[in-house]
A and B are shown apart, each in its own frame.
Chain A
Amino acid sequence: MEQNLTNVESFGASHSFTTRFGKFLKQLAERPLSLIGTFIVVLFLFIAVTGPLIAPHGYDEFMRDDEGALMRRTEPSLQHPFGTDKDGRDIFSRVIWGTREIILLPGIATTIAVILGTSIGLTVGYYGGWFDEIVSQLMDSLLSIPALVLALVMLGTFGQSEIGIIIVVVLLYTPIVARIIRSTTLNIRTLGYIEAAKLRGESTPYILFREILPGVLPALVVEAALRFSYAIFLIASLGFLGLGVPPPSPSWGRMVEEARGEYLQAPWALWAPVIAIALLVVGVNLMADGLRRIFRHEIDKVS
């Protein structure tokens, strides 16, 4: 019976890209939570892109009252919706500007990690053998170093910079992505259509990227969303530990670290970045969960 059921409502894996995308949006919309998550992510993306237009002030701009005195630790008001911090900067503007970093850095890092990991995973999974054994072992070795440990040592080495943070995240997540792609590739490479491609003498890159990659994509999309959320997590944590991007750039993690010493005088300075991080992470998680639900059938087929 099962076969018939899936025939009636066969999921994905067909049709042109646009219809697939439309279907995808429809499926996403079917679960309110996934929709909320996606909405949150899109909202933050929008804020990240249009940040300078939305933010009423610069992230390092000092607020002064009419007499020219610095407005330090002023409570949230219409003028400063999230209040000001101990240095007299508008927290609302800082949170908005900070969106850029927290979206951009994990975004770039995740993208690189996903591209690298996919390439490695595809190649290793496709060739197998001792090559696979050695690369996988190295990856496993790398993975057995806890993330923050590696981040601490690496950032100590590279110094605190955007590039350093990106390198750390890429180093941490490439093996994870590679591992997932490798196992999916291992399953796909024995399928009939791959063998058919071999029998017509296709080159390895063609087989990897035209034949295998599309099958890996659903798993990849879900994994990328997940990695993105973990990267946000990690980069915010690094900011908190003081290893993030140097000031005065408005890193949410650093804002939490700075404000937690002020919780009695200026609780708003703590809550704004905390809620922003929480909201974004929850949003990405909900979206990733939605993606997983949508692609579940296609992923199950190859894993």
Chain B
Amino acid sequence: MFLNSAHVNGKSGISRLMFTTLMILILFTMSGIAAAQDGGVLRVGMNAPENLDPATGSNDPEILFNGTIYDYLIDVRPDNTLAPNLASGWEMSDDGLTYTFALVEGVQFHDGSDFTAADVVFTFERLKAVESAALGLLGDFEVAADGDYTVVFTLAGLNADFLYGIASRFAFILKEGTENPGVLGEGDDVFSNFIGTGPFVLAEYSAGERAFLTANENYWIEGQPMLGGIEFLFIDDSLTQIDALRSGAVDFIFKLDVSQVATLEGESDIVITEVVSNQHPLIRIRSDEGHLGEDARIRQAFRLTTNREELLLTVQEGRGLVGNNDPIGPTYGDFFAEIDNPAFDSAAACDLIQEATGEARLGPIDFYVDNALNFESLAVALQQQWSEGCIDVNILMRESGVYYANNEWMEVDLGITGWGHRPVPQIYLNIMVAGDAVWNEAHFADAEVDELIAQASVTADTMARAEIYAQISTILAERGPYVIPWFSSLIGAASSIVEGLEMHPFPGLTDFRSVSIND
């Protein structure tokens, strides 16, 4: 029993008493765990991580879980800036094609072995081997160790976002030779594939149920972690997560459904944090030949008859920023170009439809919606708005897994896709907007845009880059295949006893090292 009973919410004393007196027999004995350090245990309620492989596990719970075990070379701070971590510093060659990283010395893995350059090489080679999504920003590179504590990356071409690639959320530093990262072992070696240098050590794991990590006593940063341990409680149902927080069964939850935030607002012992991010639902109209959005006027009609302000206010309950027509949102500061969205004008949309198709109304079109977050409400509201603009749609809700796994999201004419927050806008352009991008789900191909994207990727200067992005935004507002109703605020909630918690715009990257529990 490592948990001090004061953590259990004391509100229901009467019934507790009632039931303690009912303790007639002891059914189960809880396996005791080595006493935790000072600082208490943070209990995090989140969806169960499905893919524990650091190189491929990509969603918040997966990253959050692995982030406690492993460290990055470079961290991305909540404000999207970079901070040294296992890499104490780095240098870029003048031609911009060679990066040299100095590593922190004296760092040990959980099994006591030393962290060296070989581990870094292993990690990045593995990213290449499994074609991790991290390569999206890393581009083509070679990696080599130079002694035990220096690593040299050689780039095939200019890449202004290379450091963000090194800081990619998939780039957890693994121990050299780890065979099946993220796969549970047998018997005593059950966690032998979970060896990192991270602040916490995996002590217990029950798939789909819970995981418990103890503080890494030999962590390389003095005084960290401050917590004695972290317990992840896997709760797939968002409502249940809220209930769990309210009843004191967990201390921290994130990515709350906006419509449920109000439930927590009256609670005095719960602190709600809201972080603006670039996470957004992407309404995309497939625009290659023979598809719905082949004609730019149709795409424009969708934009005209989508009332972003109202959607943000109603469906998103005002938690976020008004969306636009491309994935470069206001959180990127200088990179964001303020281009006024066309005013909601359903009559104009009807005219465009009439013009483009010769028919009074368009549709009904099958509207595929990823069954995530509040997308269902969004779809229903869009159905209404679009209907005013002479577009009729049939909503088809798709389980996220099925939608993406079946590649439906790449095929359908009209759909809503969820896109998470990324530290730099370039990644969206590389993987989603460019004509040859892997996930060009809209099948949008515009030579002018492609040219601008390529240009931006080698432009290191912020202002120059912002200029290019503004051009892209302008083009996409005119003839792009996207409608983005809003950029979401991410909402987390923590018990007021949790201190030092700063939620990341990509909540999976939230840093627990300086978090503590204060009873």
Contacts and interface: CB of A to CB of B under 8 A. Distances in A.
Q: Give yes or no for direct A-B contact (beta carbon below 8 Å).
A: yes
B263 A86 contact: no
A261 B260 contact: yes
B8 interface: no
Interface of A: 60-62, 70, 72, 86-88, 160, 242, 246-248, 260-265
A208 B101 CA distance: 86
B396 A87 contact: no
A87 B263 contact: no
A247 B398 CA distance: 11
Contacts of A262: 259-260, 263
Interface residues of B, number: 23
B310 interface: yes
Contact of A261 (B263, B266, B379, B381): B263
B315 interface: yes
A118 B315 CA distance: 49
Given A70-B314, A72-B314, A247 B259 contact: no
B44 to A, nearest CB: 20
Contacts of A72: 314
Interface in B219-259: 238-239, 242, 257, 259
Nearest to B371: A242
Interface string B388-402: 000000011100000
Interface in B349-381: 371, 376-377, 379-381
Nearest to A248: B380
Query: What does DSSP make chain B's interface, helix, strand, loop or mixed?
Result: helix
B409 to A, nearest CB: 16
Given A70-B314, A246-B395, A86 B259 contact: yes
13 contacts: A60-B383, A87-B315, A88-B314, A246-B396, A247-B376, A247-B380, A261-B238, A261-B242, A261-B259, A264-B263, A264-B266, A265-B262, A265-B263
B384 interface: yes
Contact of A87 (B242, B262, B377, B397): B377
A157 to B, nearest CB: 11
A302 B373 CA distance: 55
Given A61-B384, A62-B381, 5 more contacts: A87-B380, A246-B397, A247-B380, A248-B383, A262-B259
Contacts of B310: 70
A70 B262 CA distance: 18
Nearest to A246: B397
Interface string B260-301: 101100100000000000000000000000000000000000
Contacts of A86: 259, 377
Contacts of B242: 261
Nearest to A70: B314
Contact of A62 (B384, B395, B397): B384
A105 to B, nearest CB: 17
Nearest to B384: A62
A260 B397 CA distance: 20
A60 B314 CA distance: 15
A87 B314 contact: yes
A62 B395 CA distance: 16
B389 to A, nearest CB: 15
